[in-house]
Amino acid sequence: MPGTCVVGLQWGDEAKGKLVDLLTANFDTVVRYQGGANAGHTVVVGDNTYKLHHIPSGILNPNVLNVITPGVVLNPPTILKEIDSLAQQGIEVKNFKISDRAHVVMPWHIEEDRILNQAFVSGSENIGTTLRGIGPCYRDKVGRTMALRFGDLFRPDFKDKIQRIATAKEQILSSLNGQPFSLSVDEIYSEFAGYANRLKPFVDDTTAILLNQVDQDKRILFEGAQGALLDIDHGTFPFVTSSNSSGVGVSAGSGVPARFINRIIGVIKAYATRVGGGPFPTEQENEIGQHIRDLGNEYGTTTGRPRRCGWFDAVAARYTARLSGVDMLSLMMLDVLSELPAIQVCVAYEIDGKRVTDFPSHVDDLRNAKPIYEELPGWQQDVTQVDRYEDLPENAQKYVQRIGQIVGRPVGIVSVGPDRKQTMFLEPFHASC
């Protein structure tokens, strides 16, 4: 079975949504396998912009099946809002399945996220989550006793389960911040019964669906959310999200064995951004960072927060490309660097006086890392209308090639604007490789 995965190699927002939409025409199915409504994936087609938090970015193609698998934490009202806003934009959500095994973000998760996000997790920094209840929901999934899966919403004991969990959550949450906290079981039940009613046509055993697709040799595209540096096990812990957002998470989250996923496309921006807390060695808290923020419109798709901006960090990207088993890079937002006379790329760190090219495993070492830069000349020419790689200015081509060289993987796709059309394939793309 030809399985391809698109995965972000930085701290998220690498333009995965744009790429998935673009590649969808080559596939039968598009799969979101981890994360939840913390994601914000943007697809631009002509004058229309679609902001997707939950529904896979293949949804604009009516012939493709879009699937949300067990590894995702579901936010039912967000999904419904998305279905409605897509309908207003003329897109009918019908070829769509949601796993009955996916866990559901409940109101107590959002409250717990709000309370705990005020805590310092390292030094005097907090995680700066998206406040979508992601961490608390994954915590309950792993803890099992207070978890609710999507399939539970359709069972006769659903209200009893809410009652039992809500009683425990009232105690836990009020002890967390010393404030009384109460939940109305009747209200929560009727709210979620309403969501279940509307989402009933989509609930299914997606593991069985995908395993059948594997048997039938269908072409599946997996859409990563967040980025590999936010991976719970391999990212910049504790400043991470709560799922395996690097390439290693595809199989566990989707239920498709790893041996059927035979191509990984690593998505990178031509520079770096981060939203929320945590070390960011190449961050530019100066006019360069502001220039990138302005030109790249670097404001969060989900929370609207200004994104922190900086130079491309090849130490980090080389690590995440190797970790994710990347075959090919897709380099996005090249146009954003077009006005700069010179561009820096971080090729190593200096940590405690030593030159280091392996990405540090402890957040304190990363915080102490001083970037060692290589300077490359800019091209100072608009590239947003260029549609053949050979027609890019020579210095832009050199930049692309140098990034591929230092990261250690070939660049196969280059993006010079948000629209589908503003994309160059360095070689023809096929679903099977």
**Euclidean distance between CA atoms 127 and 277, whole angstroms:** 5
| Span of 282-290, 294-302, 315-323, 342-350 interacting with ligand GDP by CB under 6 A | 294-302
Given the complex with ligand IMO, which of 227 and 404 has the nearer CB atom? 227
For residue 30, the SS3 value is strand
Total residues in contact with ligand GDP, by rule CB under 6 A: 23
Q: Can you tell me which of 3, 40, 255, 417 binds Mg ion, judged by CB under 5 A?
A: 40
CA distance 326 to 404: 12
Nearest approach in angstroms of CB 391 to ligand IMO is 30
CA dist 176 and 218 (Å) reads 48
Which C-beta is closer to ligand GDP: that of 111 or that of 231?
231
134 touches, from Mg ion, ligand IMO, ligand GDP, none (C-beta below 5 to 8 Å by class): ligand IMO
Whole-number Å distance between alpha carbons of 242 and 85: 28
Give yes or no for residue 417 binding ligand GDP (CB under 6 A).
Answer: yes
Residues forming contacts to ligand IMO in the complex (CB under 6 A) are 8, 11-13, 38-41, 127-130, 132, 134-135, 225-227, 230, 241-242, 275-276, 301
Which is nearest to 371 in space by CA: 409, 319, 316, 329? 316
Residue 367's Cα: distance from chain center in Å? 23
Active site residue 13: yes
Sign for the CA dihedral angle at 422, 312, 272, 241 comes to positive
| 296 scored as a contact of ligand GDP (CB under 6 A) | yes
Question: Cβ contacts of residue 320 below 8 Å, gap of 6+?
Answer: 9, 10, 227, 228, 229, 234, 246, 266, 326, 359
Distance between CA atoms of residues 57 and 63, nearest Å: 13
CB of 180 to ligand IMO, least distance (A): 26
In the bound state with ligand GDP, the residue whose beta carbon lies nearer, of 213 and 324, is: 324
Interacting residue with ligand GDP among 1, 24, 41, 99 (CB under 6 A): 41
Cα–Cα dist 348/355, whole Å:
7
| 308 interacts with, out of ligand GDP, ligand IMO, Mg ion, none, CB within 5 to 8 A per kind | none
* Per CB under 6 A, 337 contacts ligand GDP: no
CA–CA separation, 310 vs 312, rounded Å?
7
Residue 135 binds which of ligand IMO, ligand GDP, Mg ion, none (CB < 5-8 A, kind-dependent): ligand IMO
Q: Which is nearer to ligand GDP, 207 or 303 (CB)?
A: 303
User: Which candidate in 21, 28, 41, 313 is catalytic?
Assistant: 41
Binding positions for ligand GDP, 142-171, rule CB under 6 A: none
Of residues 275 and 345, the one with the C-beta less far from Mg ion: 275
238: cis peptide before it, omega within 30°?
yes
Residues in the chain: 433
- Nearer to ligand GDP among residue 85 and residue 297 (C-beta): 297
Please tell me whether residue 308 binds ligand GDP under the rule CB under 6 A: no
15 binds ligand GDP, rule: CB under 6 A: yes
301 belongs to the binding site for Mg ion (CB under 5 A): yes
Q: Is 249 helix (H, G, I), strand (E, B) or coil?
A: helix
If one asks whether residue 332 binds ligand GDP (CB under 6 A), the answer comes out as: yes
Candidates 13, 21, 100, 313; catalytic one: 13
Which residues 6+ apart lie within 8 Å of 2 measured at CB? 217, 219, 220, 262, 263, 431, 432, 433
- The rounded distance, in Å, linking the Cα atoms of 244 and 234 is 8
* Positions marked active-site: 13, 41
Q: Tell me which residues touch ligand GDP (CB under 6 A).
A: 8, 12-18, 40-42, 44, 296-297, 301, 332-333, 335-336, 415-418
